[in-house]
Amino acid sequence: MSEAKTQLDCRDLARASGCLWLRLRPPPQGLPDALIVTPGGRHVWVEFKAPKGWLRAGQRDMLAELAKRHAMFWIIRDTEDFANKLRAVL
């Protein structure tokens, strides 16, 4: 499945679960693809990658900065992984 299709499917799952789905277009360099806010107020940054895709240097740097601040982020390669992680935070 393409990265774009995975993003659309995950967006639909998030919205169906009552989450707020935010995207900046175009995203600032290094910023993850989306931010979801769960109904309970948890914030999760989400970076989508194709099954064989890799993080660019700016993305690795941004994720390191988010980790320093104890921000939750996911690197998602398929819809099933997203669905499992989403269920865990709802």
Q: How would you write the pLDDT of the chain (90 residues) with one tens digit per residue?
A: 789 999 999 999 999 999 999 998 887 889 999 999 999 999 999 999 999 999 999 999 999 999 999 999 999 999 999 999 999 999
- Specify the CATH number for the domain of residue 9: 3.40.1350.10
Q: What residue numbers bound the domain in which 7 lies?
A: 3-89
Q: Which residue, chain included where needed, has tokens 């309970």?
A: 40
Structural domains in the chain (count)? 1
